[in-house]
């Protein structure tokens, strides 16, 4: 039995940490952090491939996105010169990614070769620790890839002091991988992320298309606020957050595999959406 099968169904309000889903997410993902990569390894590898296959679709002026710098199979090329310049901080061009609800950092890992800095934020301090361990193990410096513990979606806390410094604003791209269905208020999340983009910056969301509910016994049930999203819903979220310019959504070829408590496999369709801050 997995450690988090003993999920307690408490409903106390956590004032100041956001509404109901946040405390469940915090507890659930703290327990899942250590096994997240192993459990979802294959799916995460597919997601990385699919994100990299859509660099043009996402539409950011990436570093290293010219064809000369391509292995031919679409895989990452972080050539030595660019790498050296990045760590010296002497690469003139900067492309900064905010990876929100970053988890262990799959979106950052997908986009790191095409950016100069990845900044992760997550509600779970254990996820943040896993993200930072992976970044260090890859030989990346904190100025290249680092995550922080926090929540930008607390209604009564629009400007958390911990995220007030310039390092946390003016991003070229803000991305959320499989996080939106956990948020109490996805529209608020999109607005808070849009505020941290520069004009012309891109909000990228990867999440599930509409699906059936998990049965109530699944330990993740209380962490989920939305059973997927329709294209119309996502488009409205982008438009209302001021990032609806050139909005586009595509379904990925990869599906997300989840195993139910009874061992049954569930497959979820995944979309990728993008829109520009006008």
- Interface with ligand SAM by CB under 6 A: which range of 73-81, 117-125, 197-205, 230-238? 117-125
Query: Which residue from 103, 242, 244, 275 is in contact with ligand SAM, where contact means CB under 6 A?
Result: 103
Residues 1-60 that bind ligand SAM (CB under 6 A): 22, 25, 29
Query: Which residue from 55, 101, 241, 258 is in contact with ligand SAM, where contact means CB under 6 A?
Result: 101
Task: Give the residue from 211, 210, 120 showing the smallest Cα distance to 167.
Answer: 120
Query: Which residue from 146, 182, 218, 277 is in contact with ligand SAM, where contact means CB under 6 A?
Result: 182
Rounded to an integer, what distance in angstroms lies between the CA atom of residue 35 and that of residue 95?
31
Task: Give the residue from 250, 162, 165, 240 showing the smallest Cα distance to 205.
Answer: 250
Residues 216-255 that bind ligand SAM (CB under 6 A): none
Q: Does 178 bind ligand SAM (CB under 6 A)?
A: yes
List of residues 6+ apart from 233 with CB closer than 8 A: none
Q: Does 111 bind ligand SAM (CB under 6 A)?
A: no
Rounded to an integer, what distance in angstroms lies between the CA atom of residue 72 and that of residue 76?
10
Q: Does 204 bind ligand SAM (CB under 6 A)?
A: no
Q: Does 102 bind ligand SAM (CB under 6 A)?
A: yes
Q: Which is nearer to ligand SAM, 179 or 244 (CB)?
A: 179
Q: What is the DSSP letter of 215?
A: P
Q: Does 120 bind ligand SAM (CB under 6 A)?
A: no
Rounded to an integer, what distance in angstroms lies between the CA atom of residue 30 and that of residue 7?
12
Rounded to an integer, what distance in angstroms lies between the CA atom of residue 228 and that of residue 245?
23
């Amino acid at each position: 039995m997995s450690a988090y099968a003993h999920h307690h169904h408490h409903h106390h309000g956590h004032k100041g940490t956001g509404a109901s889903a946040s405390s469940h997410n915090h507890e659930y993902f703290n327990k899942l952090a250590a096994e997240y990569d192993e459990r979802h390894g294959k799916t995460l590898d597919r997601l990385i491939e699919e994100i990299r296959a859509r660099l043009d679709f996402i539409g950011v002026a990436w570093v290293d996105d010219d064809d000369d710098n391509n292995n031919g199979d679409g895989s990452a090329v972080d050539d030595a010169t660019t790498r050296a310049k990045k760590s010296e901080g002497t690469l003139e061009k900067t492309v900064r990614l905010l990876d929100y609800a970053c988890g262990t950092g799959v979106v950052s890992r997908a986009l790191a070769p095409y950016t100069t800095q990845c900044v992760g934020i997550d509600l779970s301090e254990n996820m943040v620790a896993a993200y930072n361990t992976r970044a260090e193990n890859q030989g990346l410096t904190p100025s290249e890839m680092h995550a922080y513990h926090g929540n930008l979606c607390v209604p009564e806390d629009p400007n958390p002091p911990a995220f007030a410094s310039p390092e946390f604003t003016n991003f070229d791209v803000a991305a959320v991988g499989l996080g939106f269905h956990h948020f109490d208020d996805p529209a608020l999340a999109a607005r808070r992320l849009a505020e941290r983009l520069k004009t012309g910056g891109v909000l990228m969301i990867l999440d599930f298309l509409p699906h059936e509910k998990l049965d109530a016994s699944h330990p993740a049930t209380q962490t989920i606020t939305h059973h997927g999203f329709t294209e119309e819903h996502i488009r409205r979220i982008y438009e209302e957050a001021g990032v609806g310019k050139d909005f586009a959504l595509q379904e990925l070829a990869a599906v997300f595999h989840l195993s139910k408590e009874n061992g049954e496999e569930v497959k979820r369709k995944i979309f990728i959406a993008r829109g520009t801050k006008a």
